[in-house]
């Protein structure tokens, strides 16, 4: 998992994409990693670049579009990653599938990508491409989320890392990765487990909450013992997303 040796950075030229660049640069420098930039485009790009119907029906036009997109990615790399050697990949197709395929071909250790969800609609926060990559890829994924373009991104280098753990089989690997990342950056690591007890009038869930809390603390201590991780741990009762956010802010 660590250190990262090959970082894959999907590019769509948007402002959220450019906002991730400093974090990618930090990871590249911190781990002396290699960089791959990938840009995926679809039929809409071909249509947008066509000046007339004749070009759209020209069998050579898709190759011309591909050449334009390759040059655009080359120019982007020179602009935002000056002096950094990078492998550049431009393909036509569905972005999520291409990112997944390239990550496997490149044996990428880390995918760093932006999100495009702004505003209060949380189910759209990640955006369709990011959601697909998170669902399909087995590679470690870094993604930055801002509720608006005016909100600041986290500071680098990282100084405080919250590792949110659940009861699944992935918890040990997640803790191992978080501990390694925190150690690499000299950052403070803290562990979190969120329980969510029902809120129902006239029903006392106190004993049930106590049982869940004790079980969660025991699980965290077990994971820490297995991996030799010494870090403060918290168990809180809240909606999961709100609890993780509040603990990160704290």
pLDDT digits (tens, 9 = 90+) for 48-87: 787 776 677 778 888 989 999 999 999 999 999 999 999 9
CATH of domain 160-249: 3.40.50.620
Nearest to 76 by CA among 32, 137, 20, 156: 20
Query: For residue range 221-242, what is the model confidence (pLDDT) as tens digits?
Result: 999 999 999 999 999 999 998 9
Q: What is the pLDDT of residue 26?
A: 95
CA 37 to CA 25: how far, in whole Å? 12
* CATH fold label, 6-144: Rossmann fold (3.40.50)
For residue 29, name the pLDDT band (cuts at 50, 70, 90).
Answer: very high
| Higher-scoring residue by pLDDT: 56, 4 | 4
Q: What is the pLDDT of residue 8?
A: 97
Residues 155-177: b if buried by 16+ CB within 10 A, e if exposed: eeebeebbbbbeeeeebeebbbe
- Over the chain, what HEC string results? CCCCCEEEEECCCCHHHHHHHHHHHHHHHHHCCEEEEEEEECHHHHHHHCCCHHHHHCCCHHHHHHHHHHHHHHHHHHHHCCCCCEEEEEEECCHHHHHHHHHHHHCCCEEEEECCCCCCCHHHCCCHHHHHHHHHCCCEEEEECCCCCCCCCCCCCCCEEEEECCCCCCHHHHHHHHHHHHHHHCCEEEEEEEECCCCCCCCCCHHHHHHHHHHHHHHHHHHHHHHCCCCCEEEEECCHHHHHHHHHHC
Q: What is the pLDDT of residue 166?
A: 93
Query: For residue range 107-149, what is the model confidence (pLDDT) as tens digits?
Result: 999 999 887 644 443 344 445 677 777 777 778 989 876 555 5
- Does 91 have pLDDT greater than 50? yes
- Does 150 have pLDDT greater than 70? no
Q: What is the pLDDT of residue 188?
A: 97
Domains 6-144 and 160-249 belong to one CATH topology: yes
Domain edges within the chain:
6-144, 160-249
Give whole-number Cα distances, 183 to 142, 161, 212, 230, in Å.
17, 10, 30, 11
């Amino acid at each position: 998992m660590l250190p990262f040796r090959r970082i894959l950075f999907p590019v769509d030229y948007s402002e959220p994409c450019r906002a991730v660049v400093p974090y990618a640069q930090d990871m590249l420098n911190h781990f002396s990693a290699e960089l791959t930039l990938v840009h995926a485009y679809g039929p809409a790009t071909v249509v947008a670049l066509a000046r007339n119907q004749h070009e759209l029906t020209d069998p050579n036009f898709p190759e011309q579009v591909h050449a334009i997109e390759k040059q655009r990615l080359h120019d982007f790399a020179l602009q935002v990653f000056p002096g950094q050697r990078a492998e550049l990949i431009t393909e036509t197709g569905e972005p999520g599938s291409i990112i997944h395929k390239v990550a496997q071909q490149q044996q990428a250790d880390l995918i760093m990508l932006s999100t495009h969800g702004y505003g209060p609609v949380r189910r759209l926060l990640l955006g369709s491409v990011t959601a697909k990559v998170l669902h399909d890829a087995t590679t470690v994924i870094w993604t930055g989320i801002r509720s608006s373009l005016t909100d600041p991104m986290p500071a680098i280098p990282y100084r405080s890392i919250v590792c949110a753990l659940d009861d699944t089989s992935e918890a040990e690997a997640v803790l191992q990765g978080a501990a390694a990342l925190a150690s690499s950056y000299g950052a403070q690591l803290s562990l979190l487990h969120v329980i969510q007890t029902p809120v129902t009038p006239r029903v006392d869930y106190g004993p049930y909450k106590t049982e869940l809390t004790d079980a969660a603390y025991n699980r965290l201590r077990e994971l820490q013992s297995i991996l030799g991780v010494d870090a403060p741990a918290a168990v809180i009762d809240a909606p999961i997303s709100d609890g993780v956010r509040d603990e990160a802010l704290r």
